[in-house]
Structure formats: C-alpha cells, structure tokens
Structure 1
Amino acid sequence: MIIDPTRNELRLITPAAGSEPEVTAFERIAIRRVGLPGDAREWFELAVDATDMHYEAYVLIESIVDQLRSGATFRHSVSESLEGLKDLLAKRKKLTDEKVIGLIGELLVLDHVVAAYGEDVAITAWLGPLAEQHDFGFPDFDAEVKTTMSEARSHVIGSDTQLEPVPARSLYLVSVQITRAGAAVKGFTLPELIAAVRGRLDTTLRTFDNALDGLGWHHSDADLYRARFQLRSTPQAYFVDGDFPAITSKMLDAVVPNRPLVGGVSYRIDVTQLPFASAPEPLTDFCEEPE
C-alpha cells in the first residue's frame, strides 16, 4: 500500500492476475495497469481519492487485502469490499434514460442552428436548461422538442403548459425519433454529440457548459454514457393550433372544478397520423418538408 499525502490518495498494488475489477461507477476509485521498475510483470494499481474520507479509504484498502489473503481474486476482493462499504462511498450518478433521450433531441436541434445561424443565435434561443415553458424561443416562433425511441411518434408531454402557445407567438412541436445505432457509422454517443456542439462554440462555450451542468451532465462522467444512437427518421414539425391534441392550462381552467387543486398533469400523444407542417427558419432544413 502506498500513501500519497500530496494527492490525498491511497494506492494498493497487486499482481495483475485475472480480469480487471469494474469500478467506473465510483467517482473516487480508479484501476490502472502499471509496471514496476526492474519487474517484467504487470500489476494492478487501485487508487482511492481519500479527500475528506481518510478512514473510509483505509477501511476499503484493508478489506480488499483481507479478501486477497483469504485466497480471493483481486476482482472478487474489490467487488465484495465495495459492496460491503457502498454506503460509505459516493457513487457516480448518470442521467436517466429519459433525460438522455430528451437532451439528445435538444442538442441535435441546437447543433443544426449553431451550424446554420451561429452560436449566439442558437445559445440565446435554447431555453430548455432554464426550465422555461418551451425548449427554444426563436425570433418568430417557439419550439418544443420531443424525442422518442419508439417506432411511432409517441411523446410524453410533462405539463399543461408545454404545448400552450405564448400569446402572439406561434408554437411548433418538433418530433425527433432516434434508435440504437449499434456499430452504424453515423451513430453517436451523448458525449460525442456534446463534443460536436462544443467544437462549434467559442464565445458561448462557458454558457453551454453551465447549461449542461445545470441539467446534471458532468464531463468527468462521460465514460458512463456508452450507448450509441442514430436518427430513426427525419424530424418533423407540427403546428400547435386549436385542432392540435394538446391539454393546456387554459383548457383545464374552463372544464375542471377547483382547478387550482389539480397539478402534475402529464399525458402522451401520438402524432404519427397527424399532418406535419413546414418548419420556419432556422429549422426548415432540420425538419422534413411536407409534400
């Protein structure tokens, strides 16, 4: 065992026998394969960030050593020790699948607008991270981006205001369908999509990073997001007017007794069979044009 006070780190080195332990879910623990001077063998090095948790880090190392002395493999020793001390160790948390899918849709729109109209217009228009009523507020209209992995354009609407137009402003629902990409050449992961957008930014880069941080994305957790996606179809835009199947706050106010007592409205709509519209700029080239 090595104690490194300059890094606030405890390290355990043991011969690299068997498979490597899985520790990617733990933000304070890392496994590396290393070589030692004058020794041709390969070694496992387990490093524990002991900042503000010196006792817990030492107990973890001690537990792993006890397991090794009893004849267990290094992978088993680490796994058993982590399970026994999981309440003492902070686990890394990734975004839920629902949030990942929703963020991908918004980023695809954002990436298109940045490429076509510049970063200032795009980042200013992106309202999703600010928890505003709609995801994008463009000069002449608002857009609510909904993303699904289903074969149908079936989307969950999370409130009674998401599809309620702002007075004197047009509103479009932008339907994005994605699917698992496997090894497809055009596939992408969430971290790759974020990196692509960041690569287009200059003056608004900090604003973009702060927005992602507010949504729960952290660059240090990029390795947790390994799923690859691709577009299932060309996105479509739907004009939200009086004939669109939306449940709005104004509608509920008119028909629900004691309306202030009703909250948490959520519903699902399937727009597959509805006629889609021609999206205004800057989304004209992003969405499919009706025939």
Structure 2
Amino acid sequence: MTDGGNLHQLSDETVAALWAAAAPVELPLPGVPPCTLQIDPGAGTLHLRTAYQLPEPDIGTLRNVDFHAVADGHDDVAEIVVRVNDGGVQIGYGFLAAIISQLQQDARPLAEAVATAVGQFRNLTMARSPLPIEREIGLLGELLFLDYCMTALGPQAAVSAWHGPLAEEHDFAIGSVHVEVKSTASDRRVHVIHGLDQLEPLTGVPLVLVSIQLTRSSPDSGRTLPAVIAAVRVHAGAQRGALDAKLAALGWDDFDADLYDTPWAVRSAPLAYAVDEDFPAITSNRLGGAVPHLGQISDVSYRVDLTDRDPTALPHPIQDFTEWSQQ
C-alpha cells in the first residue's frame, strides 16, 4: 500500500477519487493514539487500525462493521473494518472519521468512541437479525425442493421455475403443474396459508401442495440453512447469479450466515396434496359470493392441518421427490 496524508484533510471528493482509483492506499494519522486508515476498493472495505484497548467495542451484531484484534510485532492492534455498499464510501469513511475524532480529540476509550459513532451512523451499522423462524423453515423447504428440481429438470429450468421469490401466486411452475411448498416444525402437518390467492389454482393449471416436516437435529444428522444454501449454490453452477438474486429477494444476506446455527433434518417423507375442489382452502372464488366487499379485506392468514388427509402422487417430472428427500 502507498502512504497518504492526514485524514482530516480528506474531502468527500478526495475519498471518492481514492476509491475510484481502485488501488489500495494506507493513510497514517498522527495523534494520540496513533491511527491508520486503509482504503481497499478491491475488497470493498475501509479499515481503521489503532492501539488495542479493553473493553473491546460491542459490534458483534452490526451488519456492515467487523472488529478484529491483531498482532503487529510486539503490539496488539484493534482493527475496525467497514464493508462499503454501492455508493456508500463517504458514509463508511465518515463513520471511521467519527471514531478517530472521539479517540484523538476527545480522548475517549475505544469502546466508547465506537458506540458514539454507531449512534451517529445507524443506517451503516444497522443491527443484524436472522429471518423469523417461520421464514427460515419455509426457505429451507423451498430450497430442498429446488435442489431436487435441479436434479430432475436441470439447474436452468429449476431456478427459472422457482417463482416464490418473485411474489407470484405459487412457489414453483413446473410444466403444466404449479407447486406450493409448505414446511413445518410441528408434529402434525399444520401449515400456515397466507392470503386468499396462495391456494387458488390458475384456470386449467393443477396445483399441488407439498408438505415438508422438519425437525431440529444435530450437526451429524442435519444441516443449517447456510449449509443448504451452499450446497444448492454448487448445484446451480452457471445459474448461481439468478439463484442469489432470488435468495436476496427473500431476505437472505450472506453476512448474517453465522446467525443461523440450528441444524435441521427432514422429519418424515414429504407428502403431496392435490389442491382441488375438495381441498380445505379459503380462496377469493369461494368467498366471493358470501362476503360483501371482499376486496376490502386484506392480510388473511389461516392454518390447515393435513395430517389425516389422503396424499396424492406428484406428477412427472417431479414424481420422485419423496424418495429423493430421504436419501
């Protein structure tokens, strides 16, 4: 890295120019305690290094900020790393500049300086949080079915058939059949149905509900959500970009992967149910003649228990999913 000047002399334009140059640069910052700013456009990161202090900054739950204690010769060094989103280099720089100001001008301890800067830059340091457990289980079920479809249909056809992330009526459109994948961690096949259209078949298109029961497991017999995503990405091959876009649409963020540490296993063989005129579904068509001004009702959710209902066979080309999921 090359040497630069004082941080307090850098304008937004200078920071933008250094970032656009795409070459890593190191800026030593005189003062007490000594600090160093590193700008690494290739990695998409900004780094602040200063003397290590206890207590360490409490930033373990922040989305775009990491803290590391590193050895530099005989000294311990504190390193704060900011991941820069598109167009956000000035915000990341401002965050680190606020920490440096607290350290050198106000003589505040490191943990206090970082906490103050976090309060000033909440958008950058938004706390991380995992998906709600229901959405985690739902995504797991869809990914298990998607993984099978990659084997049965090929990666391109399977990823294209996955419509759930696109806010379409049904999760998968495979040939002349639509599939809604529902997952539960319950002992019974109880599934939550969201809205009046989720189990509304399109005219002339059969709809099948696939019921998957999951259970918390051990690392030896189960897989976490990040592990399943990693496996599906490998199977996706050249479709990785399209897959990742759909994962992002569902709220997945790789930076949150460490928040998902529960191994899950398939509790029992998945079953399929034909969503026909005998299926217990609440739909707009069924309510239209009974509920006045039905269009003024929104956010309808209900539970359906399929435990004692007779299943149906999945159609070609997905007829082997039940057996495949038990392998």
TM (normalized to structure 1)?
0.83
Partner of 2:71: 35
Letter in 2 for 1:58: A
Partner of 2:9: none
1:226-263 CA-partner distances (Å, limit 9, x unpaired)? 33211122211111111111001100102111222222
1:163-199 CA-partner distances (Å, limit 9, x unpaired)? 1111122111111111222x33131121211111111
**In structure 2, distance between residues paired with 1:223 and 1:256:** 46
Instruction: Determine if contact 1:60/1:85 at 8 Å carries over to the other structure.
Output: no
Counterpart of 1:104 (choices 140, 165, 173) is 140
Partner of 2:37: 3
**In structure 2, distance between residues paired with 1:122 and 1:150:** 28
Change (3 A) 1:82 1:173: farther
Instruction: Determine if contact 1:64/1:81 at 8 Å carries over to the other structure.
Output: no
**In structure 1, distance between residues paired with 2:83 and 2:176:** 51
Letter in 2 for 1:9: L
How far apart are 1:57 and its partner, in Å? 2.5
Change (3 A) 1:48 1:144: closer
**In structure 2, distance between residues paired with 1:84 and 1:243:** 56
Letter in 1 for 2:131: L
Partner of 1:46: 80
Change (3 A) 1:162 1:34: same
Secondary structure at 2:304 match in 1: strand
**In structure 1, distance between residues paired with 2:259 and 2:103:** 24
Partner of 1:71: none
Instruction: Determine if contact 1:105/1:147 at 8 Å carries over to the other structure.
Output: yes
Structure 1 residues 117-126 or 239-248, which shifts more? 117-126
Change (3 A) 1:22 1:149: farther
**What is the alpha-carbon root mean square deviation over aligned residues?**
2.8
Please state if 1:122 is matched with 2:158.
Answer: yes
Secondary structure at 1:52 match in 2: helix
1:202-228 CA-partner distances (Å, limit 9, x unpaired)? 332221122112222233432333332
Partner of 2:198: 162
User: After the TM superposition, which residues 1-291 of structure 1 pair with which residues of structure 2 at under 5 Å, given as runs?
Assistant: 1-5=35-39, 9-15=46-52, 22-37=58-73, 39=74, 42-48=76-82, 51-53=89-91, 54-63=93-102, 66=107, 68=109, 77=112, 81=116, 84-85=119-120, 87=122, 89-91=124-126, 92-181=128-217, 183-287=218-322
How far apart are 1:159 and its partner, in Å? 0.9
How far apart are 1:154 and its partner, in Å? 1.0
**In structure 2, distance between residues paired with 1:5 and 1:130:** 37
Secondary structure at 1:187 match in 2: coil
TM (normalized to structure 2)?
0.75
1:59-91 CA-partner distances (Å, limit 9, x unpaired)? 3355578553xxxxx7x6578557755636431
Instruction: Determine if contact 1:174/1:237 at 8 Å carries over to the other structure.
Output: yes
**In structure 1, distance between residues paired with 2:308 and 2:103:** 59
Instruction: Tell me which of the two structures has the higher relative contact order, counting C-alpha pairs closer than 8 angstroms and 6 or more residues apart.
Output: 1
Instruction: Determine if contact 1:145/1:175 at 8 Å carries over to the other structure.
Output: yes
The count of residues paired between Structure 1 and Structure 2 equals 279
Secondary structure at 1:179 match in 2: strand
Structure 2 residues not aligned, in runs of 5+: 1-34
**In structure 1, distance between residues paired with 2:237 and 2:124:** 37
How far apart are 1:105 and its partner, in Å? 0.8
